[in-house]
Amino acid sequence: MTARPAPRATTHPLDTLFSPESIAVIGASPEPLKIPGLLLAFLRKNGFAGAILPVNPRYDEIDGLRCYPSIAAVGRPVDLAIVVIPARLVLGMLEDCAAAGVRNAVVISSGFAEGGSDSADLQGAITALARRTGMRISGPNAEGFYNEPRRIAATFSPTVDVRPEAPRLIATPRRLGIVAQSGGIGFAIYNRAKAMGVAVSHVISTGNEADLAAGEVLGYLVQDAATDVVLLFIEGVRDPDNFVAALRAAAEAGKPVIVCKVGRTSAGERAAASHTASMAGWNAAYDAVFAAHGVIAVQDIDEAVAVAAAFASNPRPKGERVAVVTVSGGAGAWMADTLAGEGLSLPELSPALQAEIRALIPSYGSARNPVDITAQAVHTGGLQKIVEMLVRSDEVDLIAVVVSLSSETRLPLKPEEIGPVVARQAKPILVHTYTLPSQFSRDRLGGAGIVVHAGLAAVGKAAGALVRRAAFVPTPEGAAAAPLVTIPPSGAATGALSEHGSKQLLRAAGIAVPDEVLLRDRVELDAAVARIAFPWAMKIQSPQIPHKSEAGGVAINIADRDAALAAYDLLIANARRHRPDAALEGVLVGPMAKRGVEIIIGTLRDATFGPMVMVGLGGVATELFRDVVYRPAPVGRAEAAAMLASLVSALLLDGFRGSPKADVDALATLVAQVSQLAAGLAASVAEIEINPAIVHPAGQGVTIVDALVVGAPA
């Protein structure tokens, strides 16, 4: 198998960094076991076709290459400088590079922000230099990069060492681009991908990202003609605007993006007044951004490589129906369970198709699905014929072949026969070996375009990812943010508004809220009686008491004036006992809401990605079931409807057990409105929560029962 040719792009500003014509190695050394020596050696051994320019005043030449005393002495244009000198000297050297007209630099040296204190200040100076001079800088504390098609090994990673006795196996027609904030992990992914026969375009380590960050690098690979799939390893995103723009571009281009996200974000440490924020896990905002743009999130390195290999070697499936073809009944059943656990279906094959299959397998085999051909059918060529039969069939969308590939001499599939089937790319074919694969089997099947998967769970994740990504449809960018409104002053002291103040803000933004009356004194009750019919709900109002039930601050089903007066006195007394220092605005009176499905709608402001909107099962069980979904705000009505459909509790909105179908259209509109308000008030509002919003039967709308708005610190 030969990977698709990799034409060199010439229009992107980062081309001269990742595809340079000349490279200066600053701090170059003849010592082959040290990092500066490895950089030179790997550039040469991989066959870099451009100019290699060692810079070190201690040497006149290194291994036959002229060595320059300074970057200024090079006297010719330099696309890229690889800097590998002590940290204290790096800033001055970068100044010299900029003065000499060097276009880009990769700083391998460590000892910057990762060390804290003065080292962090030094990294900040590098950032300022890049902005002032326009020179692009990758790192510091980076492991460099590898451009496989152009054989540019600007790294000291031993994974790029050239071994003539072990030629590079290429099993995929498409190329994978790897971006990692950890150089060690990035090149570890490359090492594993290479072993599986996955063609690679670039491996890029971004290090501390003083200048060039992961989002901008992702954008480069998305537009790169040589890159078909992108795999990211990130701890956090330092350039969220670039990152989201790149994800959006990838989704629109149909280029799969796989992400392994590790590490805490601020969301996990947020002390929140609302359920919306308190339920947000470490990576809620990241997960929301990934889901909005069809990103495939993975949990470990084996899963990451398996998913990447599946995308690089297979077409998109047309549906979720999978056929398992196995030579072992137990292994096939295990695969079937794994695929079902990923939400895929394994339909029983039609009687006509089963009859065709039975003619090729022993009587003790099974033609239903999983198709157990037994070991005997391997020797008669039945496996090959059945795979071809399933590729032609319109009954399944993806084929999982389960075999043993431990032999060093024999294969259950003949490469010369299966190769043309795979090359047609008519349907995904995933091959899993339940024994450890021999190098013989990897090499021979790899030459036929087949990637061998040894991990059962990982290949299951890969199959699920193929199906889900094929079904993903990019949505237009969120609707324009709502016009800005003024936050009422009642919550200025603490940042939180009372329910009454929160509903005032919602009403000012054009969101429908119930007709209610705020009783600032019990003498105002008669006016409320004349305006609002019984039964009532009565709630204490104070910015300092956001959770009113816990304070004994709610009374419901108030049937008449006398009960209302008693409830008023009780609510005021309970609030003063619960929080003596609270500023009491009064008691909010409103009609009891009609029955329906209780939903929570909320927003929070993430430190990295900004406003997020959440919707889920509401009421008192919100935190118990945690059936919620987040998306970046704002969202349009269609995306809000898709969020609702993804909830486990969506069945409750669809007429569960004979109940009337809920007004999902009105609910989706409300979710979109709240998301747009959060986006419009991103600078001044930290959280919005509506809990519960009661969704009535279709055509009867939604009632906002309770609301909370938390202002952001100045």
Q: Tell me the two tokens of residue 301.
A: 């390195």
- Is residue 411 within 8 A of residue 444, CB to CB? The reply is yes
Buried b (16+ CB within 10 A) or exposed e, 367-378: bebbbbbbeebb
pLDDT for 115 equals 64
Q: How many CB atoms lie within 10 A of CB 538?
A: 21
- Mean pLDDT by 10-residue block, N- to C-terminus, for the chain (714 residues)? 53 95 97 94 96 97 97 97 96 98 96 72 94 97 96 97 88 98 95 97 97 98 98 95 97 97 58 46 85 96 98 98 97 98 98 96 95 88 95 98 96 95 97 97 96 97 98 74 56 72 94 96 94 97 92 97 97 96 96 95 93 90 80 94 94 89 97 95 93 96 96 80
Query: Nearest to residue 159, comparing CAs of 178, 140, 175?
Result: 178
> Interior CA angle at 337 toward 333 and 342, to 5°?
145
Residue with tokens 């896990």: 281
| All domains in the chain, ordered by first residue | 15-308 (3.40.50.720), 314-471 (3.40.50.261), 515-591 (3.30.1490.20), 597-711 (3.30.470.20)
The pLDDT assigned to 117 comes to 61
pLDDT at 167: 86
Determine the pLDDT at residue 486.
63
The predicted pLDDT at position 139 comes to: 95
Residue 106: phi and psi, rounded to 5, are -115, 120
What is the pLDDT at residue 680?
92
Query: Any idea of the CA torsion for 11, 12, 15, 21, to the nearest 10 degrees?
Result: 30
